[in-house]
Amino acid sequence: MLFRIGILASLATASSLLCFAQPVSAQYSKICATNNGGYVAEYKLDLGGISTGFNSGTAIGATKCYTGADAYGSNTVPANSTFKLYTKAQGGETITCVPDNLAYSATGGTKQYTSRGTADNVTCK
């Protein structure tokens, strides 16, 4: 038994040194943001270089979601595309939700952001 554990430990070490154990980064097909701030929020998705433009406003407590179709219509989103979500209080400064530059995949999961703060101090994570 001790011999097997030693071999497994050696294999695990070797595979990490040889780069066999690459972590799989998350991929998302739906990007959502919930407005928990004290303002009407506007959101904009940039996906693979194409922007949706800011929405007309998301009320306090409401959620706005985007998919690839919001940016690309019926066209296929290019492979290896990344996205950024931007937000602002209506009439305020634009900020980037973090993390950004995440991988998009038509078969991925949902990335959920939450914006908070006041009209003068918007955050989005």
Is residue 41 in a domain?
yes
pLDDT at 26: 87
Are 114 and 124 contacting, i.e. CB atoms less than 8 angstroms apart?
Answer: yes
Are 112 and 84 contacting, i.e. CB atoms less than 8 angstroms apart?
Answer: no
Is residue 8 in a domain?
no
Is residue 57 in a domain?
yes
Pairing of strands 109-118, 102-104: unpaired
Please compute the mean of the pLDDT values over residues 49-55 and round it to a whole number: 98
Is residue 36 in a domain?
yes
CA-CA distances (angstroms) from residue 80 to 39, 94, 103?
Answer: 34, 26, 7
pLDDT at 15: 41
- Judge residue 64's burial from the number of C-beta atoms within 10 Å of its C-beta, 0-12 exposed, 13-18 middle, 19 or more buried: buried
Number of structural domains found in the chain: 1
Is residue 18 in a domain?
no
Is residue 14 in a domain?
no
CATH code for the domain of 73: 2.60.40
Is residue 74 in a domain?
yes
Q: Does position 69 have pLDDT exceeding 50, yes or no? A: yes
Residue 66 pLDDT level (bands cut at 50, 70, 90): very high
Is residue 101 in a domain?
yes
pLDDT at 84: 98
What is the residue range of 94's domain? 24-124
pLDDT at 8: 41
Q: Does position 112 have pLDDT exceeding 70, yes or no? A: yes
